[in-house]
Amino acid sequence: GQQVMQIPQYQHVQEGEDFTTYCNSSTTLSNIQWYKQRPGGHPVFLIQLVKSGEVKKQKRLTFQFGEAKKNSSLHITATQTTDVGTYFCASGAGSYQLTFGKGTKLSVIP
């Protein structure tokens, strides 16, 4: 599967601040999926991006797929304590298996 690198590994933000996590690959990705894992929970599928330059929004969350399909980002506007968790990107170009990034662990300080 494709190797995807996620940065940062950890992010601490004050409630109300914005947050962004990035997912990068050295090769072209066929798709990118984003998952959220709450503390003590299991990963939950958020969204999938397939097209070059694609942008999708879910309330305060904005997902982007780069023009070259080698990177993606997840941006959260005005974080809330309910946003706490680890955000993973995953891709499976050229294979059946999904390879997950190591995740970005988000802490929100009330």
Partner 1 sequence: DSGVTQTPKHLITATGQRVTLRCSPRSGDLSVYWYQQSLDQGLQFLIQYYNGEERAKGNILERFSAQQFPDLHSELNLSSLELGDSALYFCASSVEGGRNSPLHFGNGTRLTVT
Q: Residue 53 has which token pair?
A: 């330059």
Cβ count within 10 A of residue 63: 21
Helix (H) or strand (E) holding 74: strand 71-76
From the list 43, 63, 65, 73, which residue makes contact with partner 1 (rule: CB under 8 A)? Answer: 43
- Shortest Å, Cβ 16 to partner 1: 27
From the list 12, 27, 38, 44, which residue makes contact with partner 1 (rule: CB under 8 A)? Answer: 44
Region of 17-25, 56-64, 65-73, 95-103 interacting with partner 1 (CB under 8 A): 95-103
